[in-house]
């Protein structure tokens, strides 16, 4: 499972998305109302636990975390193999 | 306080409601008025009344008529200045048979016509029938303390204090939740009148009078909130003068509500500034025993016991309280929703339901509350937050300006930088629209409306293209944009949350569930006008909320209560329902078949939500969105189950004290079940 797929699955489950196809990989999670600021912390905890990452305070920005695509790119930059831990 | 109901035939050949129909309507309103019942009927109209006797205990029966029996009234509420109005009307030659405020209203209508409502300082919903002209007048107080719902069906206009009475009177009315009402609820926390949550059932807007005559209906506002223009206007004078005037006006408002009652009046006491001040003034208004009532919470996060006891000791009240646990909320919730008749996104009404029971059991029928102070004097975090966001919007690139948010939400300062960055993203949304109406509320309405994703495909299809915010903003008064930003935010708060949620779901409906009348000194007509005219800086001084009121409170309530930071009234939400020992109805409603059957929410989304919340650890509190989602799904499900799916019950209300039935054949002795035969009061 790719990071994209896994993050998507988490968001669908954790933010009770009825119709996953409506959630676009490039869409802003905050602007789209999918994830609020508390939800973003839930997302960060998920990334740390799932990928063994330590996300520094300075990295916790909307630029890194506000869409499924952005998250995948961020995780990739952090050096995680896309196919790992699936 | 009381319940009113009735129906008007709208065309030739349509009979008025039967006595059985009227009895069923009153039967559904028994909790609002357990003391006496009455009905009036002629060839066009039927009026019914359930009475909670508070003023003129012996003489205030309803329906009540004028001298020659051509005008009839059923009335729910109080006109606090009825004594003064009565004197004026007597001087004009009107004759009174009772000491009640109801009769004053009737004569005021005769003297002043539809403009009479502007002269009332009170809280009321009324139906007035002019048999000579064939005109029915329906009206509701300025801010919507008392409810009134309308439904046209089968050539009749049905109306009642509560929707369940309309359904009981006319079981043939199709019952269905209204998609637009649900969309508004999942945006503003309430449908905004005239929009209701049942299809075809409207709510009369606060401050409106509707006249239904032989040539159709007209409706107009006799009052709407008004504020001074941003430049100029407003109250001249110093802050000290404003404090003196506010103190005098509030004291007068409290005295009026303490003394205009023929039964003892107590007070709610939350431990916050508003109710503490009202209770302190109420205690001094009358030389008598004075009871205060408080909600305590087993969850320390929500509990204010310390401050409640401090105030009670200081003012010398006889204090009673009820400790509320999560389990109590879950158990009461079906009754709470049945009384509220709206979906709820918070459980906060439930403790108030339990509190009014405590009041009733203590033998008290009337309480003062602190409701309205935050709206009139600028108390909400929202107002402060909006001020910071507007300040920030003037220099959107500033790193320092958004840090003022930490003054409002101290948890932000303690949070990791990450959360601060995300909070900036959240609060900084739409800064470029800072000058537009509704800007201040977007941080509330947006996240709530995000919950539409829970709606079923069918419901989403129905509300597609419907924008509740756009509809609301399209009804703003022309002068709105000339008001100060704070006044604009106050106005929207009054239009949305105050009437439909705070005064209804947390107010009238929870109080009346146990036959308790609430009185709201901060909604006093003169005090509201005074507060609205104050310069915004007197209310929100920098970021100090309710500044004038705090100055008024000095010397009346303990300094610790004046100085404490505002604690919004909250109760535990989702967690009341996720415990393993939650009542069985919770699992029943969350069951996939039940969700699918009701057709309101998407069963996949609900299953995900429910799994997440049930698996959450105790040390990871549910987010605001999760709380709203769980409570919203459960309350909407309960509403659908109790008021849509289940056929209305037509219960006998017991004996009628007053029956005037002009259609009864001469000598007819038997009325509907429980109702005696003819006993005219004319």
Question: Which ranges of B394-474 would DSSP assign to H, the alpha helix?
Answer: 405-408, 410-414, 417-427, 442-449, 457-463, 468-473
Mean pLDDT on B212-230: 95
CA distance B279 to chain A (A): 38
pLDDT above 70 (res B110): yes
CB under 8 A, 24+ apart: contacts of B585-594: B585/B334, B585/B638, B586/B330, B586/B634, B589/B633, B589/B634, B589/B637, B589/B638, B589/B641, B590/B633, B590/B634, B594/B637
**Helix or strand (DSSP H, E) at B320:** strand B318-324
Under the banding of pLDDT at 50, 70 and 90, the label for residue B1 is low
pLDDT above 70 (res B417): no
Of B447, B605, B606, the CB nearest to A33: B447
Of B416, B419, B422, the CB nearest to A62: B422
> Chain A 16-35, CB below 8 Å of chain B: which residues?
16-19, 30-34
Dihedral of the alpha carbons of B408, B413, B418, B421, in degrees to the nearest 10: 40
Cβ contact B53:B658 at 8 Å: no
Q: Please write the tens of the pLDDT for every residue from B509-518.
A: 999 999 999 9
Cβ contact B470:B445 at 8 Å: no
Q: Taking CB atoms and an 8 Å cutoff, what residues of chain B touch A14?
A: 608, 612
Are A33 and B449 a contacting pair at CB < 8 A?
yes
Are B612 and A30 a contacting pair at CB < 8 A?
no
Q: Is the peptide bond before B194 cis (omega within 30 degrees of 0)?
A: yes
Q: What is the pLDDT of residue B642?
A: 97
Q: What is the pLDDT of residue B552?
A: 98
Mean pLDDT on A65-82: 84
ipTM for this model: 0.88
- Sign of the torsion formed by the C-alpha atoms of B652, B653, B658 and B662: negative
Mean pLDDT on B177-188: 98
Are B419 and A62 a contacting pair at CB < 8 A?
no
CA distance B477 to chain A (A): 30
Q: Taking CB atoms and an 8 Å cutoff, what residues of chain A touch B447?
A: 33, 36
Under the banding of pLDDT at 50, 70 and 90, the label for residue B555 is very high
* Pairs across A and B, CB distance < 8 A: 81
Q: Taking CB atoms and an 8 Å cutoff, what residues of chain A touch B429?
A: 30-31
- Sign of the torsion formed by the C-alpha atoms of B410, B415, B421 and B426: negative
Under the banding of pLDDT at 50, 70 and 90, the label for residue B343 is very high
Of B422, B449, B629, the CB nearest to A37: B422
- Among A9, A23, A37, the strongest candidate for a mutation testing the B interface, having the largest count of B CBs within 10 A, is A37
Residue B134's region, left for phi above 0, alpha for psi from -120 to 50, else beta, is left
Q: Taking CB atoms and an 8 Å cutoff, what residues of chain A touch B416?
A: 57, 60
Taking CA–CA distances from A11, the nearest residue in chain B reads: B608
Residue B438's region, left for phi above 0, alpha for psi from -120 to 50, else beta, is left
Cβ contact B239:B538 at 8 Å: yes
Share of chain B above pLDDT 90, in %: 85
Q: How far apart are CA B367 and CA B270, in angstroms?
A: 13
Mean pLDDT on A37-65: 86
Q: What is the pLDDT of residue B675?
A: 38
The pTM assigned to this predicted structure is 0.94
pLDDT above 90 (res B410): no
pLDDT above 60 (res B673): no
CA distance B389 to chain A (A): 17
Q: What is the pLDDT of residue B603?
A: 97
For β-strands B36-41 and B658-661, DSSP reports them as: parallel
Are B453 and A37 a contacting pair at CB < 8 A?
no
Are B421 and A62 a contacting pair at CB < 8 A?
yes
SS3 at position B156: strand
pLDDT above 60 (res A83): no
Are B454 and A16 a contacting pair at CB < 8 A?
yes
Q: Taking CB atoms and an 8 Å cutoff, what residues of chain A touch B457?
A: 18-19
Helices vs. strands in chain A: H and E counts, helices first: 4, 0
In sequence order, the 6+-apart residues with CB closer than 8 A to the CB of B316 are B283, B290
Q: Taking CB atoms and an 8 Å cutoff, what residues of chain B touch A34?
A: 450, 453
Cβ contact B452:B466 at 8 Å: no
Q: Which of B489, B295, B287 has the alpha carbon at shortest distance from B387?
A: B489
CA distance B422 to chain A (A): 6
Q: Which of B286, B330, B310, B299 has the alpha carbon at shortest distance from B580?
A: B330
Taking CA–CA distances from B621, the nearest residue in chain A reads: A38
Q: What is the pLDDT of residue B239?
A: 95
Q: Please write the tens of the pLDDT for every residue from B366-385.
A: 999 999 999 999 999 999 99
CA distance B431 to chain A (A): 13
Mean pLDDT on B323-350: 98
Strand residues in B80-191 grouped as ranges (E): 122-130, 135-140, 149-153, 156-160
Residue A83 C-beta-side C-alpha neighbours within 13 Å: 0
Are B418 and A66 a contacting pair at CB < 8 A?
no
Under the banding of pLDDT at 50, 70 and 90, the label for residue B233 is low
Are A37 and B602 a contacting pair at CB < 8 A?
no
CB of A62 within 8 Å of any CB in chain B? yes
Cβ contact B387:B540 at 8 Å: yes
Question: Which ranges of B286-325 would DSSP assign to H, the alpha helix?
Answer: 305-315
């Amino acid at each position: 499972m790719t990071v994209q797929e896994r993050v998507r699955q988490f968001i669908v489950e954790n933010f009770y998305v009825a119709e996953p196809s409506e959630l676009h990989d490039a869409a802003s999670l905050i602007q789209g109302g999918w994830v609020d600021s508390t939800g973003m912390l839930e997302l960060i905890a998920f990334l740390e636990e799932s990928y063994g990452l330590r996300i520094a305070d300075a990295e916790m920005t909307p630029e890194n975390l506000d869409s499924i695509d952005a998250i995948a790119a961020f995780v990739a930059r952090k050096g995680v193999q896309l196919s790992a831990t699936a | 306080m009381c319940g009113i109901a009735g129906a008007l035939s709208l065309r030739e050949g349509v009979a008025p409601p039967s006595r059985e129909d009227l009895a069923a309507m009153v039967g559904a309103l028994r909790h609002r008025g357990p003391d006496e019942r009455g009905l009036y009927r002629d060839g066009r109209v039927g009026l019914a009344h359930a009475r909670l006797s508070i003023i003129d205990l012996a003489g205030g029966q309803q329906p009540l008529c004028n001298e020659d029996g051509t005008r009839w009234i059923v009335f729910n509420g109080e006109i606090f200045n009825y004594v003064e109005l009565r004197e004026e009307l007597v001087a004009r030659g009107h004759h009174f048979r009772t000491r009640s405020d109801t009769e004053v209203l009737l004569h005021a209508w005769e003297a002043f016509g539809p403009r009479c409502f502007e002269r009332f300082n009170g809280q009321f919903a009324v139906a007035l029938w002019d048999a000579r002209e064939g005109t029915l007048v329906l009206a509701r107080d300025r801010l919507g303390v008392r409810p009134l719902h309308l439904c046209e069906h089968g050539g009749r206009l049905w109306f009642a204090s509560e929707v369940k009475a309309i359904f009981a009177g006319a079981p043939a009315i199709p019952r269905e939740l209204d998609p637009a009402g649900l969309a508004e609820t999942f945006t503003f926390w309430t449908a905004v009148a005239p929009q209701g949550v049942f299809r075809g059932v409207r709510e009369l807007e606060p401050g409106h009078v509707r006249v239904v005559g032989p040539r159709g209906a007209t409706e107009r506002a006799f009052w709407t909130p008004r504020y001074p223009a941003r430049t100029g206007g407003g109250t001249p004078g110093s802050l000290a003068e404003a404090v003196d005037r506010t103190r005098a006006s509030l004291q007068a408002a409290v005295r009026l509500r303490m003394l205009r009652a023929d039964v003892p009046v107590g007070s709610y006491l939350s431990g916050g500034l508003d109710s503490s001040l009202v209770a302190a003034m109420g205690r001094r208004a009358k030389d008598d025993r004075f009871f205060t009532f408080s909600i305590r919470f087993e969850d320390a996060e929500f509990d204010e016991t310390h401050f409640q006891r401090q105030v009670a000791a200081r003012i010398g009240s006889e204090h009673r309280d009820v400790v509320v646990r999560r389990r109590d909320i879950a158990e009461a919730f079906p009754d709470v929703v049945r009384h509220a008749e709206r979906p709820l996104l918070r459980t906060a009404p439930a403790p108030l339901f339990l509190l009014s029971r405590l009041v009733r059991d203590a033998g008290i029928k009337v309480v003062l509350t602190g409701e309205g102070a935050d709206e009139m004097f600028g108390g909400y975090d929202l107002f402060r937050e909006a001020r910071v966001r507007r300040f920030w919007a003037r220099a959107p690139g500033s790193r320092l300006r958004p840090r003022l948010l930490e003054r409002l939400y101290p948890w932000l300062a303690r949070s990791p930088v990450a959360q601060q960055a995300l909070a900036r993203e959240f609060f900084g949304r739409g800064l470029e629209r800072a000058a537009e109406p509704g800007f201040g509320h977007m941080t509330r309405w947006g996240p709530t409306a995000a919950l539409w994703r829970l709606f079923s495909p069918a419901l989403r299809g129905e509300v597609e293209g419907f924008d509740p915010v756009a509809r609301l903003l399209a009804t703003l008064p022309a002068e709105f944009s000339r008001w100060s930003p704070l006044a604009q935010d106050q106005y929207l708060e009054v239009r949305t949350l105050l009437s439909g949620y705070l005064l209804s779901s947390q107010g009238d409906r929870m109080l009346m569930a146990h036959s308790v009348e609430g009185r709201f000194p901060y909604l006093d007509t003169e005090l509201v006008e005074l507060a609205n005219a104050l310069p915004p800086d007197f209310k929100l001084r920098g970021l100090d909320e309710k500044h004038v009121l705090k100055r008024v409170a000095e010397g009346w309530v303990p300094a610790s209560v004046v100085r404490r930071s505002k604690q919004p009234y909250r109760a535990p939400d989702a967690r009341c329902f996720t415990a393993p020992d939650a009542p069985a109805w919770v699992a029943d409603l969350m069951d996939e078949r039940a969700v699918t059957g009701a057709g309101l929410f998407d069963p996949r989304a609900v299953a995900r939500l429910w799994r997440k919340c049930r698996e959450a650890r105790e040390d990871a509190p549910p987010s605001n969105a999760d709380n709203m989602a769980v409570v919203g799904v459960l309350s909407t499900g309960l509403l659908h189950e109790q008021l849509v799916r289940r056929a209305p019950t037509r219960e006998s209300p017991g004996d009628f004290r007053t029956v005037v039935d002009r259609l009864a054949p001469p000598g007819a002795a038997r009325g509907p079940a429980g109702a005696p035969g003819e006993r005219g009061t004319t």
